[in-house]
Structure 1
Amino acid sequence: MEIPTAMEKPALKIKPLPSFRLRTSSLNTLRLRRIFDLFDGNGDGEITTAELCAALDRLGLGADPTEIGTLVKAHAPAGRTGLDFPAFESLHRALGDELLGVAEEGEKEAEAEEDMEEAFRVFDEDGDGFISARELQAVLGKLGFVEGRSLQTVHEMICSVDRNSDGMVDFGEFKSMMRGIAVAVPGA
């Protein structure tokens, strides 16, 4: 089987949400690194087709293993069977550009706000406008983060951003936290 050239790289037939690619590059790189580490099931620094399929299944985004295998082969470095982090980043960028287009400068701010709102809604499972400790714990658990195993750890995470001390994170606190992450990343 021939590996497609850069112009012929196959497209994934999953329609991502607009937040597939956040517009803040430093936050996006941090997020992608965490996702890469979660998807790299055996921690060898490479995501295989099987690992990527398993991760997508856990997220409820099951995809055709043959299709995923073709994508992995098209983006894997020469001589490797899986994706290292730069290749994973390249695949993410290619899928985002193909499916979402490249944002114009004037659109970036509005899209960043929409990304924040959508990310907040992922955590705010009951839609009440607040992220409770149980909601945060549930989402962290679904994503496989060890922080989600301890309710005490989750409470501590909330307290670190809860400016009004109500025990929950509202959208304003969430935005401040996310912007703080973007600022705290070296090279941002």
Structure 2
Amino acid sequence: MSPLNRDDIHRIFEMLDENGDGFVSHDELKRILERIGVQISLAELEALVGKRSLDLLDFVCFYDTVIKVNIGDQSVAGEEGNDVESDLAKAFKVYDLNGDGVISCDELQSVLSRLGMWDEHGRRDCKPMIDLYDTNSDGVLDFEEFKNMMAINNS
């Protein structure tokens, strides 16, 4: 899992806060987790989060805790046969919808839309996001560029 900057975390918080009350409830958090394939009961989520709902500060703290745990796991995993690379390969496959070995703008937008992290009506293009890490300028991200993107966001 790659750390995000505070602006990204704030945007995610706003997207998760579906009813706009300034809090992310367990139900709202559970829905996004299910969208990305994580099955967790409300009881497990409540035990993990420790509160009925999270304000932005609580959400940032929760996110930071999850990142620290995952980064710690990754440093150990590197000694166990490169699990980090395996996790990155799995993440890459989530975005590479047609299995052609690259992530296109359409694929990135499709996945972000399914996760509820893309405003369909904003009429923005994913091209600037792709271009930022597209080192060979072919308009798509291959696995090495994806790994570099994740490494940059992880530092």
Same fold (TM over 0.5): yes
Task: Note if contact 2:30-2:45 (Cα within 8 Å) is conserved in structure 1.
Answer: no
Q: Provide the rounded CA distance (Å) in 2 between the counterparts of 1:56 and 1:39.
A: 10
- The one-character-per-residue Cα deviations of 1:104-126 (angstroms, maximum 9, x if unpaired) are 36526712211221111111111
Aligned mate of 1:167, from 135, 139, 149:
139
Three-state SS of the structure 2 residue aligned to 1:104 is helix
Structure-2 residue corresponding to 1:136: 108
Structure-2 residue corresponding to 1:153: 125
Distance 1:57 1:45, change over 3 A: same
Q: Provide the rounded CA distance (Å) in 2 between the counterparts of 1:176 and 1:169.
A: 10
Structure-2 residue corresponding to 1:112: 84
Structure-2 residue corresponding to 1:82: 53
Q: Which amino acid aligns with 1:81?
A: R
Please report the TM-score for the alignment, with normalisation by the length of structure 1. Answer: 0.58
Task: Note if contact 1:148-1:154 (Cα within 8 Å) is conserved in structure 2.
Answer: no
Distance 1:166 1:151, change over 3 A: farther
TM-fit CA distance, 1:30: 5.4
Q: Which amino acid aligns with 2:30?
A: C
* Structure with max Cα Rg: 1
Unaligned runs of 5+ in 2: none
TM-fit CA distance, 1:131: 0.8
Share of identical aligned residues, percent? 34
TM-fit CA distance, 1:149: 5.5
1:123 aligns with 2:100: no
- The one-character-per-residue Cα deviations of 1:70-123 (angstroms, maximum 9, x if unpaired) are 22443455xx52243234665x58x97xxxx89736526712211221111111
Structure-2 residue corresponding to 1:52: 29
Distance 1:149 1:129, change over 3 A: farther
Three-state SS of the structure 2 residue aligned to 1:146 is coil
Task: Note if contact 1:40-1:51 (Cα within 8 Å) is conserved in structure 2.
Answer: yes
- The one-character-per-residue Cα deviations of 1:54-73 (angstroms, maximum 9, x if unpaired) are 3244445565xxx31x2244
TM-fit CA distance, 1:142: 1.1
Please report the TM-score for the alignment, with normalisation by the length of structure 2. Answer: 0.68
Task: Note if contact 1:140-1:148 (Cα within 8 Å) is conserved in structure 2.
Answer: no
- The one-character-per-residue Cα deviations of 1:37-67 (angstroms, maximum 9, x if unpaired) are 243334555432321333244445565xxx3
Task: Note if contact 1:138-1:148 (Cα within 8 Å) is conserved in structure 2.
Answer: no
Unaligned runs of 5+ in 1: 1-21, 184-188
Three-state SS of the structure 1 residue aligned to 2:154 is helix
TM-fit CA distance, 1:133: 1.3
Q: Provide the rounded CA distance (Å) in 2 between the counterparts of 1:61 and 1:41.
A: 19
Distance 1:35 1:163, change over 3 A: same
Task: Note if contact 1:40-1:47 (Cα within 8 Å) is conserved in structure 2.
Answer: yes
- Give the number of equivalent residue pairs: 146
Three-state SS of the structure 2 residue aligned to 1:153 is coil
